[in-house]
Amino acid sequence: MLTLKTYQQTALTVLTQFLTDTRSKSVADAYAETLAEQNRNDEAYQPLFDGVPCVCLRVPTGGGKTIMAAHAVAMAGKAVLDSDAPIALWLTPSDTIRTQTLEALADARHPYRQALAHYFGDRVQVCDLESLQTISPHDVGKAAIVIVATIQSFNVTDTAKRNGLLVFRGTGAAFR
């Protein structure tokens, strides 16, 4: 498995601590404390999802954001939900990147998939919105489920295209 660089591991450690802190205090307070530890007191938390932690890790181009995201699936699932089988919505900026990410996460030899396997073994299901119906309700809570999509894919006028997502949510597994 690819070893994370020090700055990548540090960023993920800070993220994990922030997410863990949100279990015992408000998201805004956890955010303020996290920034204070970095001597950054000039940024207010912007709540977007009514109590659900929402933050952004800033990493330069070529800094390994995707490998960090593969590790973050397990770390965030454990820190926020205390789950060894989280559901992650992995958003990409374009369809090209979505396709590349899907291929990498499906390839057992790829470092991204190896990062997921490090935490979940073979209990990983990867799909896109079009193949979401291949995920069984029995997989929820037993396997890490990673749904790879573009932000644009949620901007549809034909709501019938969302049926797979709504049915999946109807199983009690909401995207968090």
- Mean pLDDT in residue range 30-57: 88
pLDDT band at 171 (very low <50, low <70, confident <90, very high): very low
The string of pLDDT tens digits covering residues 57-93 is 888 889 999 999 999 999 999 998 889 999 999 999 9
Helices (H), 62-158: 65-81, 95-106, 111-120
Q: Is the pLDDT of residue 51 over 50?
A: yes
In this prediction, residue 36 carries a pLDDT of 93
What pLDDT, on a 0 to 100 scale, did the predictor assign at position 81?
A: 86
pLDDT at residue 162 in the model = 52
- Contact assessment for residue 84 and residue 76, using Cβ atoms and an 8 Å cutoff: no
pLDDT number for residue 160: 58
Whether the per-residue pLDDT at 156 is higher than 70: the answer is no
**pLDDT surpasses 90 at 13:** yes
pTM (2 d.p.): 0.82
Lowest-confidence segment of 25-39, 43-57, 111-125 by average pLDDT: 43-57
The DSSP H or E segment spanning 87 is strand 87-92
Q: At what angle do helices 6-21 and 27-37 cross, to 10 degrees?
A: 150
| Backbone phi and psi for residue 123, each to the nearest 5 degrees, phi listed first | -90, 60
Query: How confident is the prediction for the chain on average, in pLDDT?
Result: 86
Percentage of the residues of the chain whose pLDDT score is greater than 70: 88
What pLDDT does 158 receive?
A: 62
Sign of torsion over alpha carbons 128, 134, 137, 139 = negative
**pLDDT value at residue 143:** 94
100-119 per-position pLDDT tens digit: 999 999 999 999 999 999 99
For the stretch 115-131, pLDDT in tens is 999 999 999 999 999 89
